[in-house]
Amino acid sequence: MDEKSLKNERGVVIEAERSKVSPAALVIGGGIAGIQAALDIADAGFKVYLVEREPSIGGRMAQLDKTFPTLDCSACILTPKMVDVGRHPNIELLTYSEVVDFHGQVGDFWVRVKKKPRYVHEELCTGCGLCVEACVWKKIPSEFDAGVAMRSAAYIQFPQAVPLKAVIDEKTCLYLARGKCGRKCEQACERGAIDFEMKEELVDLRVGAVIVATGFDPFDPHLKPELGYDYPNVITGLEFERLSSASGPTRGKISLNGKEPKDVVFIQCVGSRDQTVGHEYCSRVCCMYTAKQAHLVEERIPEANVTVFYMDVRAFGKGFEEFYDRVKREGVMYRRGSVSEIYKRGDRVVVRAEDTLLGEPLEMEADLVVLATGIVPRADVKDVAALLNLEGSPDGFFAEAHPKMRPVDTLNDGIYLAGCCQGPKDIPDTVAQAKAAASSAIVVLRQLQVQRTS
Ligand SMILES: Cc1cc2nc3c(=O)[nH]c(=O)nc-3n(C[C@H](O)[C@H](O)[C@H](O)COP(=O)(O)OP(=O)(O)OC[C@H]3O[C@@H](n4cnc5c(N)ncnc54)[C@H](O)[C@@H]3O)c2cc1C
């Protein structure tokens, strides 16, 4: 080892040659994990490239209404951090982008990022929404609203989006997909920001450390057809979040087809702790988000009857047990039971279950059933693992180097994990892990900085 070479925290040598690399970090995924990690690294004085696949950062937390157990409004605590990312002089935000090529080693990674064409020039777009209003094709289920509302082909992902810029979805835009449309959006844009000739761009980066914060997918309830997800009054936890959100399509009014539900049933552990769908693990958030959602129904529809079917209630975090007790005091009925079937009766549904405490079968009619769908690895988890040379855990999430002693490291030095891409977790644990990952990255970047200046 020559005098300019240094060891990182685990004794891995960062060679003098890498002193030419500018001490920058790459964060992949702009949910709360990536946002927190990017802010911490940037605040420590290092350049951060934050790559987000969607048009805006925010991830799943941006879709939530209130957050357990404190009932903070999710947008109120997330939006300031998103704005900080957008304004931070050390953060370069690459949204609507993905890493497509990656190689190198700790202290010197080579990264190629593909920026998908927005068909809207970001520097000209003011986020006024005129193109969105003008778009004639308004029939696409909104991904952000979990399909509870529709969006147009020209859209802004959500009102607090960062960056607050429109995007034209090439898969559904009538002009881009079929060449048939009066290009009304283009005529509506007073700044001339729309450009149908826009092409994808490739951006090459060289960074010293990488944080993977690609998050999770919600479990697909179609894989449990007996739970009747195709009925309009059976929805998922994420859909409920959009229904109850003040910024959602119903402005926070919990209603289906304009009618407030009177009998509401929540079913926990949908797709978690369930070998039949290959997910033996606990998703760690569903017990508490169900308690939160049951509380919101009680609060907004006081005359509603709310029942939760559960296997066990896992209220393990700070303030969780107290919150669960509060919800029961508010009148939510918890029944230990396993649900075997949901079927339609008129415009209501019937939940058929076994009360496992009484050992009795039962049937319960409901106007609304909410399936507490679990957290599963993202559909492209294997592709990302292959690209970054990461190991997977038996549950399908990315593997940490050691579950106790190196919980944010991967076996690929210089690449760290943050948030639900490593396994299910709530927001406090996600933020804590993101901060740990950021500090590990900062150690590497500091060494590179020392090399450059010595
Ligand atoms: C219904 C529901 C309710 C919940 N309620 C609460 C609650 O009340 N309180 C609480 O503490 N927790 C709650 N949670 C859990 C909370 O949502 C998670 O803890 C949190 O969202 C995890 O953040 P993350 O950044 O790890 O992942 P995500 O939020 O999934 O963010 C990942 C980001 O990475 C991006 N991405 C993915 N792949 C790529 C790629 N290859 N390249 C670039 N970008 C990529 C995604 O687009 C996304 O923006 C709830 C979860 C659900 C499902």
Instruction: Tell me the per-residue pLDDT of 190-208, one tens digit each, with 9 for 90 and over.
Output: 999 999 999 999 999 999 9
Digit-coded pLDDT (tens) for 124-163: 999 999 999 999 998 899 999 999 999 999 999 999 999 9
Interval 359-385 mean pLDDT: 98
- pTM of the full structure: 0.96
Average pLDDT, the chain: 95
Alpha-carbon torsion (284, 242, 64, 305), positive or negative: negative
Mean pLDDT lowest among 6-10, 355-359, 405-409: 6-10
Percent of the chain clearing pLDDT 90 (strictly above): 91
Digit-coded pLDDT (tens) for 419-434: 999 999 999 999 999 9
Which pLDDT belongs to residue 156? 98
Ligand 1 site residues (CB inside 6 A) read 28-34, 51-54, 59-61, 64, 67-68, 98, 213-216, 218, 237-238, 241, 285, 289, 292, 378, 384, 419-420, 425-427, 430
* Mutational test site, ligand 1, from 85, 426, 431, 435, max ligand atoms within 8 Å of CB: 426
Residue 6 pLDDT class (50, 70, 90 cuts)? low
Torsions phi, psi for 37 (to 5 deg): -60, -45
Under a CB-based contact definition with an 8 Å cutoff, are residues 60 and 375 in contact?
no
203 beta partners: 113
- Domain annotation for the chain: domains and CATH numbers: 6-116+200-216+377-453 (3.50.50.60), 130-188 (no CATH), 219-375 (3.50.50.60)
Residue 21, pLDDT > 90, answer no
Residue 14 pLDDT class (50, 70, 90 cuts)? low
Which pLDDT belongs to residue 3? 43
Digit-coded pLDDT (tens) for 52-78: 999 999 999 999 999 999 999 999 999
Q: Give the residue whose CA is nearest to atom 34 of ligand 1.
A: 29
